[in-house]
Amino acid sequence: RPTAPQKDGPLANEDITSPDVQLIDAEGENRGIVRTRDALAEAQEAGLDLVLIAANSTPPVAKIGIKVKEVQL
């Protein structure tokens, strides 16, 4: 049975399924708990990604920034 390919690196943008996140903005300021859709909209307006940096926290911690992908050589 085929399985979906796994993505490398942290979850980002629409892959974040939690309804809320603890948001760290692009300047590193803790913005508190916000709706994930609002955090994603803010990141998109800034031309950046919303990246999950602590998935096991409650709520998960997400930062607005550039998603860095691992490059295999």
Both structure tokens of 8: 């490398």
**pLDDT digits 0-9 by tens, 31-71:** 999 999 999 999 999 999 999 999 999 999 999 998 765 44
**pLDDT digits 0-9 by tens, 22-32:** 999 999 999 99
Q: Collapse the DSSP code of 72 into the 3-class scheme (helix H, G, I; strand E, B; otherwise coil) and give the result.
A: coil
Report the predicted TM-score, pTM, of the whole model to 2 decimal places.
Answer: 0.79
pLDDT of residue 71: 45
User: Which 3-state string (H, E, C) describes 1-70?
Assistant: CCCCCCCCCCCEHHHCCCCEEEEECCCCCEEEEEEHHHHHHHHHHCCCEEEEEECCCCCCEEEEECCCCC
